[in-house]
Amino acid sequence: SAVISQKPSRDICQRGTSLTIQCQVDSQVTMMFWYRQQPGQSLTLIATANQGSEATYESGFVIDKFPISRPNLTFSTLTVSNMSPEDSSIYLCSVEGSGTEAFFGQGTRLTVV
């Protein structure tokens, strides 16, 4: 299994500002994934972050809005830029453990006011 630590666990931010979310894994992993869960909705994949290359974004998500860093095999950040109330969601990072099982962090609950 993999243990994932996400920071912050929650935040309330002013519109127009940016928030950077950190994801730390207790083992080296090739791929890390960032998901968004809007209120009352299921999870939607934002992007895949591989160490040493640019993140790959899913349809509807762009780098200018959600820049991602992946400086090493145990750490990644997701920034939510120029926030609006529509960005209020839970943001989760995920990794693939051995046996292809996916593990998730506890999530970051973001409220934009």
Q: With binding defined as CB under 8 A, does residue 12 bind other proteins?
A: no
Q: Which lies closer to other proteins via its Cβ, residue 82 or residue 87?
A: 87
Q: With binding defined as CB under 8 A, does residue 38 bind other proteins?
A: no
Minimum distance, C-beta of residue 64 to other proteins, in the bound complex (Å): 22
Q: Which two tokens stand for residue 91?
A: 């943001």
Chain residues 47-76 in contact with other proteins, contact rule CB under 8 A: 48, 58
Q: Residue with structure tokens 């500002």? A: 17
Ranges assigned E (strand) in the chain = 4-7, 10-13, 19-25, 31-37, 43-50, 56-57, 68-72, 75-80, 89-96, 102-104, 108-112
Q: Residue with structure tokens 């090739």? A: 30
- Could you list the residues that contact other proteins (CB under 8 A)? 6, 31, 33, 35, 41-45, 48, 58, 90, 92, 94, 96, 99-107, 109
